[in-house]
Amino acid sequence: MQKTFQSIKTISAVLSLMVGAFASAQTAYPSKPIRLLVPIAAGSVTDVVLRAAVPLLSQRLGQPVVIENRPGASGVVGAEACAKASPDGYTICAVYHSIMSFNPYTFDKLPYDPDKDFAPVGRLFFVTEGLVVPAAFPVNSVSELKAYALQHPNGVNLGTLGEGSLQELLVAWLNREWKTKIVGVPYKGGGPIANAVTSGEIQMAQMGLGNFIGLLQGGQLRAIAIAADKRSKLFPNVPTVQEAGLGGFPSRPWWGIAAPAGTAPPVVARLNAEFNAVFRDPKMLEMMEARYVEPALTSSPEFTSFLKTDRESAGVLVRLANQTVR
């Protein structure tokens, strides 16, 4: 009997040590730099916002947060890298509507599972988009764009983020609604798309307005619609998509943070708390407002619930656009 009690005491002591070591490890997080994978090209409005957040985030976490851009294939490249990373809290990733909601419907095979391969940390913000054309393009409104596209069946290209992206869905939807032959041309981010539409390489783009502000103010681009509930103070003469006749295309791009599946809940909770604190900082809020980015913070469970409903909405939109699976 005495040996049995001794064995129990020994096991209890070992378990206590293990629990204590685990708690200590969690308390000590992070103890080295954190890699933040961003699935779009550097210079895009989301990349700019996240880079602005990094110094504050690094300060709060006590360790450097280093952005690594992994653009391509409608976010698939970055999502795969994140899904396959070690779930230790030292690789996290920016995720958005294409990665988590649209790709499961528009690709027949994905190298990641949006349900099983990620631990949702939290939603960060919505992006207000604008439909823009080059200043030299002979179009001043959505109705004129439709007329031009009908008169020039092979003369209108729209910049996209690749197969399955929201822009590709917009192309499919416009062609169905207008009976046009607009072509989607893939790029790796809003920055490259802004350069392409400015140079006239493509004739139109619909991306976050923050990608185009300087170009619009400089007269190199012209906005013909803004995806918002009301007109912009900066561009009061530009109609909303509803006013312009594009209200039938329901979309609101969002961005959030996720970690590889299996990341410890205390680590996820710490990351959520620190990201939320950073994105409530007055300087960040001012910076985001200037780039038409709207904070939309959530807890981790709220983000998980949002992802479920957003994917259901994405399925409706894919069917609405008659988009085929790749």
Provide the CB-side half-sphere exposure for 257 (13 A, CA): 30
Structure confidence at residue 322 (pLDDT): 64
Task: Dig out the tokens for 86 from the structure.
Answer: 């070690």
Q: How far is CA 57 from the centre of its chain?
A: 18
Structure confidence at residue 190 (pLDDT): 84
Structure confidence at residue 18 (pLDDT): 43
Q: How far is CA 273 from the centre of its chain?
A: 19
Hey, is 124 helix, strand or coil?
strand
Q: What is the pLDDT of residues 193-225, one digit of tens each?
A: 999 999 999 999 998 888 898 999 999 999 999
Please check the confidence at residue 13 and state whether its pLDDT lies above 60.
no
The better pLDDT of the pair 248, 243 is held by 243
Structure confidence at residue 323 (pLDDT): 52
Is the pTM higher than 0.85? The answer reads: no
Domains located in the chain, CATH noted: 33-127+252-320 (3.40.190.150), 129-244 (3.40.190.10)
Q: How much is the average pLDDT of 142-159?
A: 95
Instruction: List helix spans (H) across the chain.
Output: 2-28, 45-61, 76-83, 97, 103-106, 142-151, 166-178, 190-199, 213-217, 241-244, 265-278, 282-290, 300-320
Q: Which of 124, 123, 103 is nearest to 112 (CA)?
A: 103
Q: What is the pLDDT of residues 48-89, one digit of tens each?
A: 999 999 999 999 999 999 999 999 888 999 999 999 999 999
